[in-house]
Amino acid sequence: MLNMRYVDEVLFGYEVIERLPSLVREWVEDLRSGPYANST
């Protein structure tokens, strides 16, 4: 399969339960501090 760098991390099994909450926190922080964070 051709690697086009669309995937940063792949989670399997119990790793989903362990790692996903911290990933979501990172996503939320990134969205809140991004260029559209305070746009109205």
What's residue 39's pLDDT? 61
User: CA end-to-end span of the chain, whole Å?
Assistant: 42
Asked, for residue 19, whether it belongs to a domain, the answer is yes
Chain segment 1-40, per-residue pLDDT in tens: 566 778 888 889 998 899 999 999 998 999 899 777 776 5
DSSP secondary structure, the chain, as one string: ----S--S----TTHHHHHHHHHHHHHHHHHHHSTTTT--
24 in a domain, yes or no? Answer: yes
The number of distinct structural domains making up the chain is 1
pLDDT score at 34: 79
* pLDDT value at residue 7: 80
Domain that holds residue 13: 9-34
Amino acid identity at 26: E
Residue 18 lies in a domain: yes
